[in-house]
Amino acid sequence: MLAVTDLHVSYGAIAALSGISFQVEQGSIVTLIGGNGAGKTTTLRTVSGLLRPKSGAISFLGEDITTLPAHQIVARGLCHVPEGRMIFSNLTVDENLAMGAYLQHDPVRIAANRDYVFSIFPRLRERLKQTAGTLSGGEQQMLAIGRALMGNPKFLMLDEPSLGIAPRLISTIFEKIVEINRVHGITILLVEQNANLALEISRHAYCLETGRIAMEGESKKLRHDPQLKATYLGG
């Protein structure tokens, strides 16, 4: 569904990605794990069109999207829930969701998507008229995911959904991510520092290290890999 080939990205003179390649199959959950500065966020930003690669190719559903502007990539059903959530903090929850449906024109579909978001995150319905900036970290993450779901995604990229969230909410959010994938058939590319959690729910994993893919494989197997265990899973 998504194929990234030999992607190079740099910030000025500093190389952030030095030739990474990976694939995400339709219907699966794939995770990118790795430490700080490994290039996980850069990868997602380049795929969603916020950053331009120096070289390499990105194809989505068989179409080359490497040079498309971000808003046209979203229109193809590839939605990105960015790091730090980036909700519109001065807008209400309702307006945030409406912005998520910016490219949707069918009111019936939009209403159905709203109901779907509320069925996953009932908390959002209670907070509808509240300014998004006043939500708790966990609620903001729910809103960020909900906003992306309003865009009718076929493919969802999640950047650190567990970051800055109360531990008890993390498991809820991860259950919902699995539900979005299993029940609604949305393919997911998950970036996480919490490697344990990410490997638990994903089918395939890529491990990034300073802009390169250091290791890849079935998540089940990687969880028991001694080297990976020592580096990321705390022994």
Partner 1 sequence: MSEFLQQLLNGLSLGAIYALIALGYTMVYGVLRFINFAHSDVFMVGAIIGYYTGHHLPPGTVGSGLVVLAAAMAGCALLGIVIERFAYRPLRNAPTLNVLITAIGVSLLLEYTFQNQHVFGAAPQLFPPVFPVKNFQLGGLSISSNQLIVIGVAALLMVALEFIVHRTKIGTAMRAVSLNPKAAQLVGVNIDVVISFTFGLGSALAGAGGILYALNYPSVEPLMGVVPGLKAFIAAILGGIGNIPGAALGGLILGTVETFVSGSQWSTYKDAIAFAILIVILLFRPAGILGKFTVEKV
Binding positions for partner 1, rule: CB under 8 A:
48-50, 69-71, 74-75, 79-80, 82, 84, 86-91, 95, 98-100, 102-103, 133, 137, 140, 147-148, 150-151, 164
E-state strands within the chain? 2-11, 14-24, 29-33, 55-60, 63-64, 78-81, 155-159, 187-192, 204-209, 212-218
User: Which residue's CB is nearer to partner 1, number 74 or number 180?
Assistant: 74
Shortest gap between Cβ of 112 and partner 1 (angstroms)?
18
Which CB, 26 or 134, lies closer to partner 1?
A: 134
How many Å apart are CA 204 and CA 188, to the nearest integer? 11
Only one residue has tokens 């319905």, namely 125
Judged by CB, which is closer to partner 1: 70, or 215?
70
Q: Quick one: 148 or 208, whose CB is closer to partner 1?
A: 148
Provide φ and ψ at 151, rounded to 5°. Answer: -90, 15
Q: Between 50 and 170, whose beta carbon lies closer to partner 1?
A: 50
Using only the alpha carbons of the chain, give its radius of gyration: 17
Question: Got the DSSP string for 98-132?
Answer: HHHTTT---HHHHHHHHHHHHHH-HHHHHTTTSBG
The answer to whether 113 and 150 have CB atoms below 8 angstroms apart is yes
* Distance of closest approach, residue 144 Cβ to partner 1, in angstroms: 9
Q: How far is the CB of 32 from partner 1 (least distance, A)?
A: 18
Q: How far is the CB of 109 from partner 1 (least distance, A)?
A: 14
Sorted by sequence, the CB contacts under 8 Å of residue 164 that are 6+ apart come out as 137
**CB 214, min distance to partner 1, A:** 28
